Amino acid sequence: MFSFTLEHQEAHSGARLGLIRTAHGEIRTPVFMPVGTQGTVKALTPEDLVSLEVQVILANTYHLYLRPGHDRIRRLGGLHRFMHWDRPILTDSGGYQVFSLGALRKITPAGVSFQSHLDGSRHFLTPELALEIQTALGSDMAMCLDECPPYPATYEYVRSSLELTRQWAERCRQARGENGPALFGIVQGGVFPDLRRAGAEALMEIGFDGYALGGLSVGEPPAERLETITRSLPLLPADRPRYLMGLGTPEDLVEGVEQGADMFDCVLPTRNARNGMLFTRQGAVIIKNAAYAEDPGPIDPECGCYTCRHYSRAYLRHLYLAKELLSYRLHTWHNLYYFMELMQEIRQAVVHDRFREFKIAFYRKRKESS
């Protein structure tokens, strides 16, 4: 069961509202998906995520394939039951993790051979296996295996990579058949406009439930990244969800929504929480700074999260410097609350056709605080 309904489109921007229906519930878009790489969003329980109004999480095919294994998870009832999460799950294909292994992997037309980062064991990931793993996990939304070219890369390399991604996408579509999870194709093409267009057209010819922009935030300058997003998102079908992969600063979310993106994911709020960087309406707070040693105030005086209602910057700094586990939990709670509230505010702005006013206020507050 999967469907997408476009419920509202702003007249003066690409910002839009949608509703995704899955077997595990509905998702209001635009939406940010916290990353639960190994079947857990680090430092939080599923009940915590529900209380934070998280609609959907992302899990990682590569990591769950290596440990504890997709067959084991399938025997134990699928990932939803395994991790005690009854809302939607999107799984990536594992391709990005494999390609980031560098010398530990080799790309061929058939698939990718690689060595496990855990024990050095050898594996061969094909488009068919990527779908098999995601299906065994019980994913609601699965991703095609693709090749993510590096930056910088030559035009010829990116064109060759794009053709491989197209072939793999076709094989993934055939492998899924009619009864598998909803399947998203991933548009590659680097920073070359004609290749991005060719990639989008090739995937639309195959036909997918959703479409993603991949291969971004791999070293390209921010201005070039935004230009690529601005050119590429309108190429994707309006009646399918549009997923902007791996971009997750607050600014990324605002800019992506303006261009018509519906779905986002990133490790940034959870990873930065563990590294002591906290998001606020005024910009980032680096909690280890000595300025907070005796600060009795909350992280963000405008925030209503559990952490801000109960704990001071001084206490949070103490926990972080002492490497207490509670630091990870309280920081992660705050950061995800901030991201969930930001997306809710964005959806409210779009429904009232006030997204541009929201964007101006968003940046003004950051500028005033800098």
Asked whether residue 245 falls in the same domain as residue 281, the answer is no
Q: How far apart are CA 23 and CA 344, in angstroms?
A: 23
Options 146, 252, 265, 300, the catalytic residue? 265
Domain boundary among 239, 266, 293: 266
Asked whether residue 256 falls in the same domain as residue 130, the answer is yes
Q: What is the pLDDT of residue 97?
A: 87
Asked whether residue 211 falls in the same domain as residue 134, the answer is yes
Q: How far apart are CA 120 and CA 192, in angstroms?
A: 36
Q: How far apart are CA 132 and CA 340, in angstroms?
A: 32
Asked whether residue 227 falls in the same domain as residue 291, the answer is no
- Between the CA atoms of 262, 218, 130 and 182, what dihedral angle is there, to the nearest 10 degrees? 10
- Within 260-324, where are the H helices? 268-274, 306-310, 313-321
Asked whether residue 81 falls in the same domain as residue 42, the answer is yes
Query: Is the pTM above the cut of 0.95?
Result: yes
265 noted as active-site residue? yes
Asked whether residue 35 falls in the same domain as residue 165, the answer is yes
Q: What is the pLDDT of residue 99?
A: 77
Among 281, 338, 293, residue whose Cα is nearest residue 320: 293
Q: What is the pLDDT of residue 100?
A: 83
Q: What is the pLDDT of residue 95?
A: 85
Options 48, 92, 262, 295, the catalytic residue? 92
Domain boundary among 207, 240, 266: 266
Q: What is the pLDDT of residue 104?
A: 82
Q: How far apart are CA 277 and CA 285, in angstroms?
A: 6
User: Which parts of the chain register pLDDT below 50?
Assistant: none
Q: What is the pLDDT of residue 177?
A: 79
Beta strands at 31-34 and 111-115: parallel, antiparallel or unpaired: unpaired
β partners of residue 235: none
Q: Is it true that the peptide bond before 296 is cis, omega within 30 degrees of 0?
A: no
Write out the residue range of the structural domain in which residue 310 sits. 273-369
Asked whether residue 72 falls in the same domain as residue 104, the answer is yes
Asked whether residue 259 falls in the same domain as residue 287, the answer is no
pLDDT one-digit tens code per residue, 105-129: 999 999 999 999 899 999 999 999 9
Kindly report the CATH number assigned to the domain that includes residue 106: 3.20.20.105
| Number of folded domains that form the chain | 2
Asked whether residue 200 falls in the same domain as residue 85, the answer is yes
Domain boundary among 221, 249, 266: 266
Q: pLDDT above 90 covers what percent of the chain?
A: 94
Asked whether residue 329 falls in the same domain as residue 249, the answer is no
Asked whether residue 310 falls in the same domain as residue 207, the answer is no
Asked whether residue 125 falls in the same domain as residue 79, the answer is yes
Tokens encoding 187? 């548009």
92 noted as active-site residue? yes
